[in-house]
Amino acid sequence: MSMFYRSTRDDNVRVTASQAILKGLAADGGLFVPESIPSLDKSLEELSKMNYKEVAYEVMKLMLDDFTEEELKSCIDRAYDSKFDTEEMTPLVKVENEYFLELFHGATIAFKDMALSILPHLLTTSAKKNNVKNEIVILTATSGDTGKAALAGFANVPGTKIIVFYPKNGVSPIQEKQMVTQKGDNTYVIGIKGNFDDAQTGVKNIFSDKELEKVMNDAGFQFSSANSINIGRLVPQIVYYVYAYAKLLANGEIKDGEKINVVVPTGNFGNILAAFYAKNMGLPINKFICASNENKVLYDFFTTGEYDRNREFVLTTSPSMDILISSNLERLIYRIAGNNAAKNAELMASLKSEGKYKITDDMKAQLADFYGNYATEAEDASTIKKIYEDCGYVIDTHTSVAATVYDKYRKETGDTTKTVIASTASPYKFTRSVMNAIDSKYDSMGDFELVDELSKISNVKVPNAIEEIRTAPVLHDTVCDSDKMCDEVKKILGI
């Protein structure tokens, strides 16, 4: 075993992959990062002949090398099964000259399923490997998609409880209905009065409460996270970029070794960071195109080198990206700071106290592979309409942010490199925004009338994830102030 993980804020913290997955967040508030990123040990040609599960094993065995072959293959088999509505898991759809990587064919019709269907199995396997006797309490903040995907993944998994916090008025009606109707004796959903950043900060504060940790341990509980701060979320996301490249190669769309661009609609920065890790493992990626909505904190960062969350929080039609604190960016900052935990900790302390930090010119020079831009609400809607009218293909509001930014990138640079756009959610998850973009006449319809209308115009069957919530009863109706999140957790655990 050679793979260890360090905290981005303390060089002395060194743990195995399974320990990092169990902890979720380092005790110092840092995120776990690999000491070094291993290279793929199968050629791209070999990978192009494999199915999704086989590629998943080849990628994940390198990053999670304290799992045995049997353990890892068992986790992969249990995760990527009939929960997905297509055998390919992540179909690559060519629309004109772009390739949309559809990451929404899992149980909750969003890209989070790709990682959150395997995380419960990685976590329970990690607990056994480390002789953990405590019940694991998954604590998660969501801007809409992580919550439902985590709830679905952990529902009724023995030895776990899951508590999800979401901004009460900051998710789509379908997203909320998916969460509040979730079954499972171990599932809890709480709306907070505030935005996603308030929820995420509240969860991080609960994680770092040492007194609470002791009380929990005495009561037989310990926290872990299903957010993308958990390395067990990030590693499975590397897989679909490798698989996408392998499919392009298998389909004769690219030559072996030919570089591609990747466009990712980005909020918490985990999905695009997974692509960055894929490149570091040997995948030929030319540019990482980071697409933001009107909460364009990442666009400003890539443009100026300053990360500044001191700005108005905008509620958009792409709510999963309505984020001003992009947690996973810390992993990239640590990397461009020369894996210097002290330097990174100083920048993160500045973010906490002043709401901003500025990287050095040397650090900014290492971001040459990244391009950032953003889409306004009007541009987002216009792109949905244009792609539908030109090609008959319907995309959701987040994927549209990516398509809009890619169009800007191409016009700005003239770059004709073949490009994969991460299609992160089904249009069925955001039917009202999508249908309104196509034609304002749909605005008078009810949420589920819109679902049926979308099925008609797109010739795509209504996903099971939507059918099952049409008449499902609300099972979770708790709402609290963001400063009362810890009290709610204690109430649920009876401590």
3-state secondary structure 431-477: HHHHHHHHCHHHHHCCHHHHHHHHHHHHCCCCCHHHHCCCCCCCCCC
Rounded CA Rg of the chain: 21
Contact 199, 166 (CB under 8 A): yes
- What number of other Cβ atoms are within 10 A of residue 343's Cβ? 17
Q: Which two tokens stand for residue 143?
A: 């801007």
Measure the CA–CA gap between 262 and 289, rounded to whole angstroms: 6
Active site (catalytic) residues: 112
Q: What is the DSSP letter of 37?
A: P
Dihedral (CA of 395, 399, 401, 405) sign = negative
Residue of 74, 41, 45, 79 lying closest to 59 (CA atoms): 41
Q: At what angle do helices 196-207 and 485-493 cross, to 10 degrees?
A: 60
- Residue 43: count of CB within 10 angstroms of its CB: 11
Rounded Cα gap, residues 10 and 136, in angstroms: 25
| 155 DSSP 8-state letter | T
> Alpha-carbon distance 130 to 218, whole Å?
18
* Residues 422, 145: Cα–Cα separation, whole Å: 15
Q: Which residues pair with 419 in a beta bridge?
A: 261
Contact in structure between 290 and 371 (CB atoms under 8 Å): yes
The residue among 146, 189, 142 whose CA lies nearest residue 167 is: 142
Whole-angstrom distance, CA of residue 444 vs CA of residue 421: 32
What number of other Cβ atoms are within 10 A of residue 443's Cβ? 10
**Cα(258)–Cα(44) distance, integer angstroms:** 11
